[in-house]
Amino acid sequence: MNYSNLNGTKAFKALAKLTPFDVKSKLTASRISHAAISAGGGLTYNYGAMPIDDSHIETFVELAQEQQLIEKYTALISGEIMNIGEQRLVLHHLTRGKLLGNHQLIYADGEEKGAFYHEQLARIEAFSAAVRNGKIKGSTGKNITKVVQIGIGGSDLGPRALYLALKGYCVELSTDILEARFISNVDPDDPTEILEDLDFESTLFIIVSKSGTTQETLTNQEFVIKAMNAKQIKGLVAAKHIVAVTSKTSPLASSSNVLDAFFIDDYIGGRYSSTSAVGGVVLSLAYGFDIFKRFLAGAHDADLHALQPDVLNNAAMMDALIGVYLRNVLHLPSTAVLPYSQALSRFPAHLQQLDMESNGKQVNRFGKPVDYGTGPVIFGEPGTNGQHSFYQLLHQGTDTIPLQFIGFIKSQRLNDVETDGSTSQKKLVANLIAQIVAFACGRDHENANKRFLGNRYSSLLWANRLEPETLGALLAHYENKVMFQGFLWNLNSFDQEGVQLGKVLANKVLAGGESDEALKAFIRMLS
């Protein structure tokens, strides 16, 4: 397998010599219609407003072949060790289905991993059905009506974003919904707010920690248990209201303080874990297993699309290659993700972790420094709110910031109001379209304050409506984009050593700072 640094490749050297396509003067209807690629799950990716033309795409093809993107993806899903820093497999794709047919068997930890993930899905289906139909009740005999997930990082961001993204669809579908809430921050104000109006007798808590030792999560678990015991409710047994999502070898797996445990393993990174039990338990309890199953199907469909060797038919690969061109040839260090859907209000926060934790690296997969930019800074907010916030800088600031718009033809809840000859949803879509063209084409004006330079580049991911399959495809598209960019940059996108030092020092602070004078100084100041 070819694991060479990006700037040492023949194709990248050729790419660096190409002039950006002039979007401002050449954004035509024909170009827009021919820049569409199916991304799976009813999702379409359009790169018409990006600064690339046929010569760029020809070089992308050469770069993808030179860096063996499809071969590396195939190696990953076949069970080769791709997380070489931790000597681990990378198996999050397998949580939503086999991509190489039923002969795809991957063994680790003394078990076949496809069967292991399938078994956990079956257990989640049975458990969520039993809770939702009242067979499993709270310890005092009440039906469970609310669930609270306690986790941090990938145990919170993805599941929280997906829960919010599916809520409107399930409301419109008249699905029986168990309200879900999330506790992540070790700041005591977080659990205090979430718990203050809860009926503990009808609430189920989900503790999510792969290791079973995550400091913030275990602290919040104890916070919840103490709050439950403080109520002194006759017959209330805290352990009967807590389930765990953890590894088989963690302390939580066999704890007497939990009702049940659902298992993940070391081959599912936290930021990639939403299609495992980490997302599956809470989403299946909240909306029913069928909704989660449809979500998995959309993700699997996008994974299959990402296996297409032709760049022009592989949306995730095209998105990744354009991103590398923006980052390493045009030297643009950030990207804004702009969903024109209120349901995706927390989706950019999940993508921040997915992208920046995966590819925010300064050494290659062999621990050698790279001398080119890697992962961009990711930020975003839903439209049209963002238009009245940071779009001023996006339009007229001194830096060009690439944009990724997400939009849907229909609203999720299908509840629309007509005013001034148009509906709310049509106005939302009109704003989305207007922004893409405004960023691309700009506007000349004799007054410099009213001048828009244009050539502010964007892509669009769109579908008819935000449904479970579409959401799954959207999630998998970004996961696969990040994966391909990691391959292009020759990074290990599946470890996160950059988050460890702060944890170590936090424990040192709790021990009094030991011999570290800087820590002691801050301890004195903040005590």
The CATH code that applies to domain 6-92+307-495 is: 3.40.50.10490
Could you read off the pLDDT of 263-306 as tens digits, one per residue? 999 999 999 999 999 999 999 999 999 999 999 999 999 999 99
Task: Report the pLDDT value the prediction gives residue 72, as an integer from 0 to 100.
Answer: 98
For 262, what's the count of Cα atoms within 13 Å in the CB-facing half-sphere? 26
pLDDT mean across residues, the chain: 96
pLDDT at 519 over 90: no
Q: Report how far apart, in Å, the C-alpha atoms of 275 and of each of 152, 252, 264, 283, 479 are.
A: 16, 21, 11, 10, 11
Do the strands 242-246 and 203-208 form a parallel or antiparallel pair, or are they unpaired? parallel
Give the list of residues 6+ apart from residue 263 with CB closer than 8 angstroms, or none.
116, 120, 245, 246, 247, 248, 253, 277
DSSP-assigned letters across all residues of 196-242:
TT--GGGEEEEEE-SSS--HHHHHHHHHHHHHHHHT--TT--GGGGE
Catalytic residues: 357, 388, 503
Q: What is the pTM of this model?
A: 0.97
- In this prediction, residue 244 carries a pLDDT of 98
Q: Do domains 6-92+307-495 and 106-294 have the same CATH topology?
A: yes
pLDDT above 90 as % of the chain: 91
Q: Whose CA is closest to 291, among 163, 444, 456, 196?
A: 163
Q: Does domain 106-294 have CATH number 3.40.50.10490?
A: yes
Report whether pLDDT(521) > 90. no
Q: What is the mean pLDDT of residues 427-450?
A: 97
CA distance 525 to 527: 6
Identity at 302, one-letter amino acid code: A
Domain ranges of the chain: 6-92+307-495, 106-294, 498-527
pLDDT band at residue 102 under the 50/70/90 scheme: confident
**Could you give the angle at which helices 468-489 and 69-77 cross, rounded to 10 degrees?**
120
Specify the DSSP element, H or E, that contains 463.
strand 458-463
pLDDT digits (tens, 9 = 90+) for 391-400: 999 999 999 9
What DSSP letter does each residue of 106-136 carry, written as one string?
-EETTEEHHHHHHHHHHHHHHHHHHHHTTSS
Measured distance CA(288)–CA(286) in Å, rounded:
6
